[in-house]
Homo-oligomer: A and B are copies of this chain.
């Protein structure tokens, strides 16, 4: 991949002397960015630009060429590629648009031809339908729009599926004073994918932080595997999340859609920070440059009481604590700065005092406290004179951050001019919104913690299961051309060590009574009928039946209720189960995701899932820690953990079941969907039981 960014001889193909020719811009960009290699221009009409010959064909160039940048009409690209191959060129960037994103059939045909030719000559290429690449280290800058010359060299690299968004991000970086290292727009990613380029950037010594903009994800498992190996922060903006977006993305870069929750899980599990808008992008790019915050205890030092109040609110929203200031510290502050500090507490309100030296001393003393993990400094500077001293203060704060290796998140309310000056002249994050400042620090905390917790293959346990027995059941269903497993589903679960409840199907009152006495009273009976979706709404679930006559009267009530609500429903009998009381109703599940493979799901049971769409998803395989985290991420976890006077639930068993489910889904790619609904989770040490389950095969 290095060859895409460090060529020594480049041919730009598609150049003409016309004023509006876009190929010209590419040559101009290379010249303006001070490219350290040799550039040749190629175009069928020949002629010249800027005292430079335009060769009619790449074959005419009297030199070896490392890389070709191609921007000729779509239908000519295959033959141009062929010429490149013959010339011995092995790397190309194809910027031309008008392939499958424009005309599905003809575009795809052209793309296949390009792939065939590339394979024949061993050419690797980026694109088509992209705006090219930039390397700030050697001035290699080949996008077809004229690029802004104030682009700063730095250590952030960009991989983008949309050229337009890539340019907006570069612009945002310029405005924030952040420097670029490499940029690549992947377009249709026909040969070289985002993941290939990510793999390169992770190794690239000039890159310290990677930003990706993706509208679709093709090989999710691969992306996760590569990202897991990265020691560099990876930010990713994955758009095209909804039904509107799908429409345009198909027409834009021929994207496929993927389930957004799975994307969230996959990014989380592989340590990729998901960005959702420009605000957070700017915040994250800045905050990741500060030393990592090691705990959740902050000190707020503020020049105004109002800013302090808003800062304290924001800390609470971002789950930070306000550090406790020890008495000795407060006495020291009091002694040195009496009458200057309005009130000795955290947040510390500095009042009217504006003394650079005092501010810096207070920040230093605060950073020294072992109970303080980071400082939020809320500053206001609205006049010329204050701006001058503020800059000196900022320099002091930058040094303190280095010395104490703790982050100081610096917010300032000032004129746009002054804020821009600070951003352009100080290599330090400048925030202008209090709530965003603290939200950014929260993300930094999350990122530091999460990147230490990424699982490796050793973290994936092998549970003892009866895979063969399960395979036999599934094979039988396949042979019988059934794709739905019902009562067999519970057996499959049992083979994988997920406990279930005994069930007997009964077709009459008498059979139900017989089943009940076999299972032992009290029992529950539930209707079996495909057309009835909300059983309990129509009396289709009868619980707590304590004797023979109760079973009879409940059976009767059930049939009356159902016949009233669904006069035409075909009834396949009732399930009789021993009454299971206590515990919590959960739902477990899983499915094959087209992008990421098997995923595991956990939710609160019953109507919760339906109303709230509250479920936690992870890509399989999961580690023990990830299984536990799934449970902790559940809204309502506090109840399971035993808060508010509830008994704690058997979390260990639930963790075990999730691991077994993950293994089951990995062992059987032919399981398209799986529902365990409900799973009843009992108190600590009392296990859990699946009451019902469904498996759908592909």
Contact = CB atoms under 8 A, between A and B. Distances in A.
A663 interface: no
A168 B304 CA distance: 10
A577 to B, nearest CB: 15
Interface in A144-181: 145-146, 148, 150, 160-168, 171-172, 174-175
A349 B644 contact: no
B244 A312 contact: yes
Nearest to A176: B416
Contacts of A626: none
A167 to B, nearest CB: 6
Contacts of A413: 167-168, 171-172
Interface stretch (A58-66, A469-477, A605-613): A605-613
Interface in A190-238: 213, 215
A388 to B, nearest CB: 14
B249 A309 contact: yes
B544 A542 contact: yes
A305 B242 contact: no
A544 B547 contact: no
A582 B242 CA distance: 35
Interface in A632-651: 635-636, 638-639, 644-647
Given A312-B248, A612-B635, A380 B164 contact: yes
Given A305-B162, A306-B239, A639 B607 contact: yes
Given A382-B171, A416-B420, A544-B543, A215 B306 contact: yes
30 contacts: A146-B383, A150-B415, A161-B306, A164-B305, A164-B307, A165-B304, A167-B380, A168-B304, A215-B306, A239-B309, A239-B313, A242-B317, A244-B312, A244-B347, A245-B312, A247-B322, A252-B342, A276-B435, A277-B436, A278-B435, A278-B436, A533-B645, A534-B645, A537-B646, A538-B582, A539-B581, A545-B550, A608-B608, A610-B639, A612-B635
Interface of A: 22, 102, 145-146, 148, 150, 160-168, 171-172, 174-175, 213, 215, 239-245, 247-249, 251-253, 276-279, 303-310, 312-317, 322, 342-343, 345, 347, 349, 352, 380, 382-383, 413-416, 420, 432-436, 522, 533-534, 537-539, 542-547, 549-550, 553-554, 581-582, 604, 607-608, 610-612, 635-636, 638-639, 644-647
